[in-house]
Amino acid sequence: MTTMTRIGLGISATVIVIGLVAGAFAQNTTGARDPFMGRGGPGWWGASGRFGGRGGLLGVLGPMARQLNLSDAQKERVKSIEASHRDEMKALGDRAMAANQALQAAVTAETFDETTIRSRSTDVAAVEADMAVARARIRTEVLQVLTPEQQAQLKQMEAQMQQRVADRRQLWRKGKSR
């Protein structure tokens, strides 16, 4: 595979993933009862056909949080944390969509302009970094609501999820090597 093909595939994959992630952050602003649900309820796709994302603003922590048997007070506190970051995450999602659209336009332009593509890729990376920082900030706030036992249980669930991802990746690589 040529270097240009790899770069093109990498950029295309990044654009798709970022577009999906950005959509996940454009969450329900009507105040869903369950702070762990995305726009259309549990699952990946919301009722509006947009990517609702498991866990709403909480990402994968959302579905895991349901398994932690949170008290009503903890649920309310997590809901409050989510609400306090909703506007920030919506703005980041909007920035991510715009950055990805600009990158896609540069990649698919009639004339090749490496400088523009690199600039747009840098813009996408900057938004991704801002989103990662925001997600980490939200996660830290939520962890402070959990008991030590719930934190340990969450850590174990995250390790299991990471192992499943690694197992799937390994299976995928085996399939590609045939």
Query: For the residues 85-96, what does the mean pLDDT come to?
Result: 95
Question: Over the stretch 15-33, which tens digit does the pLDDT of each residue have?
Answer: 565 654 555 444 444 444 4
According to the model, what pLDDT value does residue 30 have?
A: 45
Q: Are 106 and 117 in contact (CB under 8 A)?
A: yes
Helix axes 72-107, 3-25, angle to 10 degrees: 140
According to the model, what pLDDT value does residue 47 have?
A: 34
Question: Over the stretch 129-140, which tens digit does the pLDDT of each residue have?
Answer: 999 999 999 999
Alpha-carbon span 120 to 92, nearest angstrom: 16
Which of these ranges, 14-28, 30-44, 96-110, 161-175, has the smallest mean pLDDT? 30-44
* pLDDT higher at 53 or 56: 56
**For the chain, what are the domain ranges?**
3-146, 148-178
pTM for this model (two decimals): 0.62
According to the model, what pLDDT value does residue 65 have?
A: 72
Burial class (CB in 10 A: 0-12, 13-18, 19+), 7: middle
Alpha-carbon span 40 to 53, nearest angstrom: 9
Burial class (CB in 10 A: 0-12, 13-18, 19+), 153: middle
Query: For the residues 31-42, what does the mean pLDDT come to?
Result: 43
User: What number of residues does the chain have?
Assistant: 178
Cα–Cα distance list, 155 to 61, 70, 139, 151 (Å) = 10, 15, 12, 6
In the predicted model, what is the mean pLDDT of the chain? Answer: 77
pLDDT at 163 over 50: yes
